[in-house]
Amino acid sequence: MASVTKTRPQFGQTVTVTAKAWRRNRYEVKGAFPDQYTQTFRVWERFLAFKSPRRAMYIGFRTKYNGESEWIDEVGNVFTPNEHFEMWLVVEDERHAPYFVWPDDCEVNA
């Protein structure tokens, strides 16, 4: 999911958030036996839509990727991105961990 380009808030500015985002792993077995070859798809999705919008503080942005991860013998886990996008990092208060949100799910407060 590519987000619409939005103006980023200043560090410390408050935003109203309607949903969190999370990275989901989906496994797919390639072969007749489960231990032969496993491919993992890593996808960022909208995780939790809040019952009512929450007020949070913007603390930064990150570039995130959707893609495929597969195990190759004698090399290890190899990740191949096939889509990139920007996500915002927000925090509600000092007692909770920061979380990622889609810019489309945020409204910058004046």
Q: Is residue 55 part of a domain?
A: yes
Mind spelling out the 3-state secondary structure of 60-110? EEEEEEEEEEEEECCCEEEEEEEEEEEEEEEECCCCCCCEEECHHHEEECC
For residues 8-30, average pLDDT:
90
pLDDT at residue 36, rounded to an integer: 62
pLDDT at residue 76, rounded to an integer: 86
Q: Based on the structure, what is the number of domains in the chain? A: 1
pLDDT at residue 106, rounded to an integer: 93
How many CB atoms neighbour CB 90 within 10 A? Answer: 22
Do 14 and 57 touch, CB atoms closer than 8 A?
A: yes
Q: Is residue 3 part of a domain?
A: no
Q: Is residue 5 part of a domain?
A: no
Model confidence pLDDT, tens digit, residues 64-99: 999 998 878 888 888 999 999 999 999 999 999 999
Model confidence pLDDT, tens digit, residues 23-59: 998 877 776 665 666 678 899 999 888 899 999 999 9
Q: Is residue 96 part of a domain?
A: yes
Q: Is residue 4 part of a domain?
A: no
Q: Is residue 34 part of a domain?
A: yes
Q: Is residue 1 part of a domain?
A: no
* Full residue range of the structural domain in which residue 95 is found: 14-108
pLDDT at residue 31, rounded to an integer: 67
* pTM greater than the 0.75 cutoff: yes
For residues 91-108, average pLDDT:
94
pLDDT at residue 33, rounded to an integer: 66
8: Cα within 13 Å, side-chain hemisphere: 14
How many CB atoms neighbour CB 22 within 10 A? Answer: 12
pLDDT at residue 107, rounded to an integer: 94
Q: Is residue 8 part of a domain?
A: no
